[in-house]
Amino acid sequence: MAVPEDVVRKMNLIDICIDDHEEVPEPPDHAAELWSEEQIRQYFESGGISDGFPTPENVNMTATTQRSAEELRASYPDPPEDEFKKWFPGLQRSKTSVDSPRMRLVCFTNAGNEENVFTTEGVGARRVSGLLEWCRTNMVEILAVQLPGRGARIKEPFITTVPEVAKATLQVLGSKLIDTPYCIMAHSVGTWNSFGLLTLLREEGFPPPLKCFFSCFPSPDIPQDIRPWKPNRTLPDPEFMDEARGWDVNEVVFREDMWKQFSPLMRHDFYLFDEFQFTQGDNPPFHFPITTFFATNDKKVSQEMVKGWSKFSTKEFKCHEIQGHHLFVMGLQEQKPAKEAWYSIVTLELDTVICAI
């Protein structure tokens, strides 16, 4: 059997590190298969510390819980059509809906935003079509999650905890992830909503995603005392506006007429990451590749914070630089090249994923 490309790359990295750190004991035989490249580097740089790194024992914990397709379909039947459209209103608009998709791309957007950041190309100078064009060409459905409290769901109560987001999303989404391969793509707090969903998917015995793309947010285990934001619960409006500006929210949002619309949405969405409690420290890492992104002009989230995601996978981990600020995903003015670069990297890596299906 041929050795997977990522394992060969990690074997070569281990050989290089052994030469550079002769005083460090060689890592265990399973390192090339189960550790990420970042974990391999950490092992040698720390002098041989591997506490919390994947082992055959804790990785096997994930395999024993996977349920059969029949069991999953019994627990997660197809939802009513109107309910599905509420949660994924952009599927038809994106023109990626097909009868038998080769793969699905599940997307979570940033705080204060709607799913259309993924399911529309934008118009005029803001048009960025790379992701949707790729999906249409490759018969990949985009399922971008529309949480309550926005768009056509504006009258519905907000969901304010990550576990509740995961549970409600999976009830509608679950049947789509049983027989069709999928990847996950998320930006900002959407990465923590994704993490909640991934944790629940594993607990429920679903097949794992083929790959995840997380941009511009710390790993969920970041200690509360170094989280790069102020909890918004007690902030008066002027201070909350300043906090939002730190996330590069467009100044037009702070106009009086616009603020009445966006303030409740942003406060509730910020609450998701303000109040999040990481309780999965004893869980083994996931067993799929993770690609992350950090923005060079991000006022809140640093490269090191984003690289914390490396601990959450036994597979390949990447961290790409994007020349832009935190909300480059909006593609506004000078941020358009950043969004184009983001889409370009994602679609190039998806090429490799879909070729392997």
Tens of pLDDT along 17-45?
999 999 999 999 889 888 888 889 989 99
* Predicted local confidence at residue 124, as pLDDT: 67
At residue 36, the pLDDT reads 83
| CA gap 302, 22 in Å, rounded | 32
Query: Which residue from 16, 49, 18, 53 is spatially nearest to 310, judged by alpha carbons?
Result: 53
Q: What pLDDT, on the 0 to 100 scale, is given for residue 127?
A: 83
- Between 41-50, 84-93, 176-185, the lowest mean confidence (pLDDT) is in 41-50
The answer on pLDDT for 60 being more than 80 is no
Please give the span between the terminal C-alpha atoms of the chain, in angstroms, as a whole number: 17
The mean pLDDT value for 154-167 works out to: 96
Give the pLDDT band of residue 64 (cuts 50, 70, 90). very low
What is the pLDDT of the chain when averaged over all its residues? Answer: 93
Region of poorest pLDDT, from 63-67, 190-194, 218-222: 63-67
Q: Which phi and psi (to 5°) does residue 328 adopt? A: -60, -20
Give pLDDT, residue 55: 80
pLDDT band at 255 (very low <50, low <70, confident <90, very high): very high
Kindly tell me if the per-residue pLDDT of 348 is higher than 50: yes
Quick one: pLDDT band at residue 282, thresholds 50, 70, 90? confident
103-132 mean pLDDT: 90
pLDDT at 240 over 50: yes
Residues 147 and 165: their CA atoms lie apart, in Å, by: 8
Handedness of CA 340, 139, 203, 266 (dihedral sign): positive
Evaluate if residue 163 carries a pLDDT over 80. yes
- Helix, coil or strand: residue 54: coil
Query: Which residues are within 8 A (CB) of 113 and not within 5 positions of it... i.e. 6 or more apart?
Result: 150, 329
Q: Which of 11-15, 190-194, 279-283, 318-322 has the lowest mean pLDDT?
A: 279-283
